[in-house]
Amino acid sequence: MKSKQDIPDWKQQGLFTFVLFPTSKSVKQAMLQDFGYDDVKFMQIIRDIRKRILEIGQVADLGYEAILLQGSGANAVEAVISTGTPPDGKWLVIQNGELGARVAKIVDVLKIRKTVLDYPGNSLPDVGEIFKTLKEDPLITHVAIVHNEMTTGLINPIKEIGEIVKRFKKIYFVDAESSYGAVPMNLEELKIDWLASTADLSIEGVSGIAFAVVKKDVLLAAEENSRSYTLDLFDQWKGFEKYGQFRFPPPAHAILAFNQALIELEKEGGVFAREARYKKNYQTLVEGMHSMGFTELLAPELQVHSVVSFRYPEHPNFNLDKFYKKMKNRGYAISQGTADKAHYFRLAFGGRIYESDVLELLKAIKETMEMSI
């Protein structure tokens, strides 16, 4: 049974965006208070958040540090690359979508050497090619992969890749912006040295605050590396350790929402319980879409449970623009796919969404299709 706090505001606002991840009313209400940045209670909230972040990755008290950062997940990704790369560093970037391509672009902008292994957006990386690349290029120091490539909803085999990375004793970075909080992971077992994520999406907070998780010995070795003043994660960590606070004014209200979202994640039963809810939503959505003639872009074993891409139906009268507009008029927003110019659209249904919400979506799609075709 959903409480009033669980009902997302799109019900009142008339817009359900299946592109963003809705938040609970209680997360939004957490922002309706003000704190001075040096307030003792606010500083305790920051400590609690950093601890809970490590608990999500199952590495609390295991030699990892959580570092909060102002901005989006992209800020955290750039901060990791800028801080984590020594002057002679070289990255192997594994990409099969736009988020992977963004990692490669950041490496370029920072004028760091790189090799890119590029794969189609609907397929997994070739682990044999990864092995071969690392074996043949000893100059590579770091390897990057996106866990959930939201371009399609594809989930990459980070455990298998991590085993290869550590066989060659390289630093392993995983961009887990949309998966952290809804896909169980033990960072130590996955061999992850650096991870970047964000307070919104699967943690179900709001945008404006991101974070990195890093093995402490890897962080200490990066003290003099940063190519950015404001995105220096080592200095940011020193500020938390010494003063309990950010180096620069933080997005206080987003932090309060983040704290409430983490509390609600814990109350829901943790990452495994959230994954179960997302899986149920996914199963309901896919079964309903199949009944209307839609098929997924990805095979089920490649698919995350919070973003699903569907191919255009095989009907001569289907038009995405008309479909999009009619769905938006009903209070739903969808997102056109962009990977490899494939004809598909994406439905993101992570966040504070339940099976009843998915059933309402399916009803709206069915009625829209009947009108359009």
- The pLDDT tens digits for 180-191 are 999 999 999 999
pLDDT at 10: 30
The verdict on 221 and 322 lying in the same domain is no
| Interval 87-111: pLDDT, tens | 999 999 999 999 999 999 999 999 9
Residue 337 pLDDT exceeds 80: no
Q: Domain total for the chain?
A: 2
Residue 372 pLDDT exceeds 80: no
- pLDDT tier at 316 (50, 70, 90 boundaries)? confident
Spatial CA neighbour of 270 closest among 61, 100, 91, 58:
58
The verdict on 103 and 178 lying in the same domain is yes
Q: Look up the CATH number of the domain holding residue 363.
A: 3.90.1150.10
The verdict on 74 and 12 lying in the same domain is no
- Asked whether residue 158 is assigned to any structural domain, the reply reads yes
- Asked whether residue 28 is assigned to any structural domain, the reply reads no
| Interval 189-242: pLDDT, tens | 999 999 999 999 999 999 999 999 999 999 999 999 999 999 999 999 999 999
pLDDT at 21: 79
Mean pLDDT of 43-61: 97
Instruction: Report the distance separating Cα 288 and Cα 283, nearest Å.
Output: 9
Mean pLDDT of 39-43: 92
- Asked whether residue 354 is assigned to any structural domain, the reply reads yes
The verdict on 236 and 289 lying in the same domain is no
pLDDT at 122: 87
Q: Look up the CATH number of the domain holding residue 100.
A: 3.40.640.10
Residue 312 pLDDT exceeds 90: no
Strands 64-70 and 332-333: unpaired
The verdict on 224 and 125 lying in the same domain is yes
Asked if 43 and 244 count as a contact pair (C-beta separation under 8 A), the reply is: yes
pLDDT at 190: 98
The verdict on 242 and 290 lying in the same domain is no
- pLDDT tier at 373 (50, 70, 90 boundaries)? low
Residue numbers of the domain that contains 8: 4-23+270-372
Spatial CA neighbour of 257 closest among 183, 213, 180, 198:
198
The verdict on 172 and 203 lying in the same domain is yes
pLDDT at 341: 52
The verdict on 66 and 190 lying in the same domain is yes
Which domain-ending residue is among 231, 249, 266? 266
**Residue 68: C-alpha distances to residues 20, 71, 174, 194, 214 (Å):** 22, 10, 16, 13, 11
Return mean pLDDT, the chain. Answer: 90
The verdict on 184 and 324 lying in the same domain is no
The verdict on 356 and 338 lying in the same domain is yes
| Interval 119-169: pLDDT, tens | 998 899 999 999 999 999 999 999 999 999 988 899 999 999 999 999 999
Instruction: Report the distance separating Cα 146 and Cα 79, nearest Å.
Output: 15
Asked if 193 and 172 count as a contact pair (C-beta separation under 8 A), the reply is: yes
The residue written with tokens 């800028």 in the block is: 82
What pTM did the predictor assign?
Answer: 0.91
pLDDT at 3: 43
Mean pLDDT of 264-287: 97
Strands 332-333 and 16-17: parallel
Which domain-ending residue is among 220, 240, 266? 266
pLDDT, greater one: 12 or 245: 245
Which domain-ending residue is among 221, 243, 266? 266
pLDDT at 73: 95
Least confident among 5-19, 134-148, 294-308, 328-342: 5-19
The verdict on 64 and 114 lying in the same domain is yes
Residue 164 sits at the vertex; the CA angle it makes with 161 and 165, to the nearest 5 degrees, is 85
What burial letters (b/e) apply to 178-190, b meaning 16+ CB within 10 Å? bbbbbbebebeeb
Least confident among 34-38, 250-254, 365-369: 34-38
Mean pLDDT of 320-348: 75
**Residue 161: C-alpha distances to residues 131, 167, 174, 192, 299 (Å):** 9, 10, 10, 10, 20
pLDDT at 13: 32
pLDDT at 335: 67
Instruction: Report the distance separating Cα 36 and Cα 330, nearest Å.
Output: 42
The verdict on 319 and 175 lying in the same domain is no
Mean pLDDT of 73-80: 97
pLDDT at 342: 58
